[in-house]
Structure 1
């Protein structure tokens, strides 16, 4: 089993020199901190980000924290431990957790038809292209959408803007307008045909927004209240929220965009933070939350502890295992960009690592880990093998997966392939 940061071969070489176990631990930790510091600093030196921070726990103890660069370049505010960032799709695992608290209560089964609880999605049609007049050709569902489908992105929903006829229908329905409530979102989304038959493809989209609506429908409680009461408050995640109060906005990191010329531009806060500076009717399950390193780490630690943190019982251990188990059949070969994440399948709102990296260019990681990231290039993962959790924050567009590759290599050490591999 690989230890955090350094390979077993390095540990053995240190011990062979007659170094005591206690001193070996110190050497390992110092080398790890040095490598991580160097990696995070390089992101700023290369002009890739304005600021970066990371927090790592192993076996229940903090083993690394540091922050470099600026949260706000214009105001010369450094990146700090309590900096608030927009986590975008790292909202999704929180929504999935809220949904699965209802599963633990026996409120639904994963293979229940979605329409059992949400008739808005009954008798949907499936897109088959357009005719000579540009009208959509539709066919009936082969089978109903299941709750499992919306937890693994196989329901057939899409938000693509390049599907002839379909994209225009989605734009006209406008389900994701911030002025819509979740029930209004569901009704409008259900009026648009699916792009493909359930389980035909893996397509990232609005399935987790449907999960938030389902939480609201099954619980009878507004989603924002339910997730606060059943996940965020028990975990003491007080900085994780949709709306940031005016007196705390000084902690919000601006968003940055890398131009085609390689320049780093700071986006206007009025534009980048428009959703989080006002209470909107829409409370999306797939994005929208802000958080801090420590807040999100509490969520990650709950998961590595199989649903429990400091006495707060969020999920049953068996449910966490279910969420972190691959639910994608190998016959589902069309998987959009999911293969870019490495040798992974998909569980319930997490990518799940199935195999070790097959090349040194792939994302590093341990078989059994589960993780996700966000549009502004944030990242977190849970490594149950080493009882390790990591949270990495930057705020940069477009999404930069290269940062994740290098951060992972800094945590685990360079990828070492078996002899004979390329």
Structure 2
């Protein structure tokens, strides 16, 4: 892992005079498309209080020969997670919960969680009580012991049987089924990417008394002027929706089957995930990113207090959670995890590590989506594409284009 290297990049760029290289960003996008690394993409950079760059290349739909335009709609998948974190922390500011409250105080179905340790010789899971119950903080930093399914953990046997995140479930039904899935470890001992953010969405419903998507629309999208963002979309939006392309075993990009592509947002299903599902544009999502950059406020609309943003953007992983217990998180860079964000705590330690500045916070999404907030450089960036599986190499090269390959990542003094 790059984070294990000990020698930082030499000959650093002068970060105090950093300016994003817009021609390099445009060239990167053109090259990525021409080399078949993605079908289409766009990038939007906001720096020092103004738009610095917008670049685009390729197609939103190869089959329709439709360009990847500024108003192209994209399915952002896990870039939904920071929105959910902001929604829940609004309720924290209102005194609805404490970060160290046990989760079951607010969702009683999680009172009797157990840890699955192995599959017994009789074919049944071996279960034990956890060392402590998961807290609200655990739920927001992926240390609750929850799973997302699809791993070799014994608990996933129950996940696969119940399918808590079925699109036919409501969030209430999801939560009842999720509470039946054993934990993969004691809370606070492992960072394990999970459906914990969907638990957060259910918490928003219970604590606010509103449907989750209605709460987000009223308290985040509308005040921020994000008029083109939602989970449920209408058929007329299809003319702007980017197709998701899947890299086959030879690297060729083929369109995702239509039913799979459209089911989350266009099939009228009841599930509104907290960890995925928003359809938006680069401009709309940049308004969310600018709010974070401006410590919770945009155009006179206060979404969160500055101190709350700083809490969310502070690494909260115990040092005792060693790299081998952080799944693939170290591949994101030298850092840790706050509340629904990766947080960079050290400069890049090798050319193979993604460029970035100490103090940045970000997240990404399954179809190779990416955004980040770089407070030291007064910059926010949104990179939009629709390619699966997730392509970290694409993000590495995009960040090289934005910062320059020799960017040292130390905040300007």
TM range (shorter): over 0.9
What are the within-5 Å matches in structure 2 for residues 396-415 of structure 1? 396-415=387-406
Q: Decide which of 262, 286, 289 is 2:278's aligned counterpart.
A: 289
Task: Please name the residue that 2:190 is paired with.
Answer: 201
Q: Is the 8 A contact 1:126 1:196 kept in 2?
A: yes
Name the CA distance, whole Å, in 1 between partners of 2:378 and 2:49.
8
Aligned equivalents of 1:294, 1:416: Cα separation in 2: 26
Question: Which of 244, 253, 259 is residue 248 of structure 2 equivalent to?
Answer: 259
Task: Indicate conservation of the 8 Å contact 2:15/2:408, yes or no.
Answer: no
Aligned match of 1:22: none
SS in 1 for 2:224: coil
Name the structure 1 match of 2:110: 121
Secondary structure of 1:274's match? Answer: helix
Partner Cα separation in structure 2 for residue 314 and residue 416 of structure 1: 32
Q: 1:164 to 1:109 in 2, by over 3 A?
A: closer
Q: Is the 8 A contact 1:357 1:415 kept in 2?
A: no
Paired residues of 1:357 and 1:365 also in contact (CA < 8 A): yes
Distance 1:367 1:228 in 2: 32
Which runs of structure 2 are paired with 1:63-142 in the superposition (5 Å)?
A: 63-142=52-131
Q: How many residues end up aligned between the 2 structures?
A: 396
Q: Secondary structure of the residue that 2:28 maps to in structure 1? A: helix
* Matched residue, 2:369: 378
Aligned to 2:157: 168
C-alpha contact 2:38 2:387 (8 A) present in aligned 1: yes
How far apart in 2 are the matches of 1:64 and 1:9? 18
**Out of 368, 383, 386, which is 1:395 matched to?**
386
> Secondary structure of the equivalent of 1:273?
helix
Residues 373 and 164 of structure 1: is their aligned pair in 2 closer, same or farther, counting only changes over 3 Å?
closer
Summarize the Cα distance change of 1:69–1:131 in structure 2 as closer, same or farther, 3 Å threshold.
same
**Which residue of 1 is the match for residue 349 of structure 2?**
358
Match of 2:259 among 267, 270, 273: 270
TM-score, normalised with respect to structure 2: 0.93
Which residue among 175, 187, 198 is the counterpart of 1:186?
Answer: 175
1:407 match: secondary structure: helix
Q: SS of 2:184's equivalent?
A: coil
Which protein, 1 or 2, shows the higher relative CO under an 8 Å CA cutoff with sep ≥ 6?
Answer: 2
- CA 1:9–1:318: 2 relative to 1, 3 Å: closer
Please give the secondary structure, in 1, of the residue aligned with 2:156: helix
Scaled by the length of structure 1, what TM-score is found?
Answer: 0.91
Structure 1 CA distance for aligned equivalents of residues 23 and 408 of structure 2: 24
Question: Residues 58 and 9 from structure 1, CA distance in 2 versus in 1: closer, same or farther, beyond 3 angstroms?
Answer: closer
Unaligned runs of 5+ in 1: 1-5, 12-24
Secondary structure of 1:145's aligned partner: coil
* 2-structure distance, mates of 1:405, 1:295: 24
Is structure 2 residue 312 aligned with structure 1 residue 323?
Answer: yes
Tell me by how many angstroms 1:416 deviates.
Answer: 5.0
1:130 and 1:164 in contact (8 A); partners too: no
Q: Is the 8 A contact 1:84 1:291 kept in 2?
A: yes
Residue 227, structure 1, aligned to residue 216, structure 2: yes
1:56-113 residue CA offsets vs partner (Å, 9 max, x unmatched): 0001100000110000011000000000011000000000000000011111110011
1:59 to 48, 62, 73: 48
Q: Within 1, Cα distance between the matches of 2:120 and 2:345?
A: 42
Shift of 1:7: 3.4
Give CA deviations for 1:334-365 in whole Å, capped at 9, x if unaligned.
00000000101000000000000110110100
Q: CA RMSD in A?
A: 1.7
Structure-1 separation of matches of 2:263 and 2:384: 20
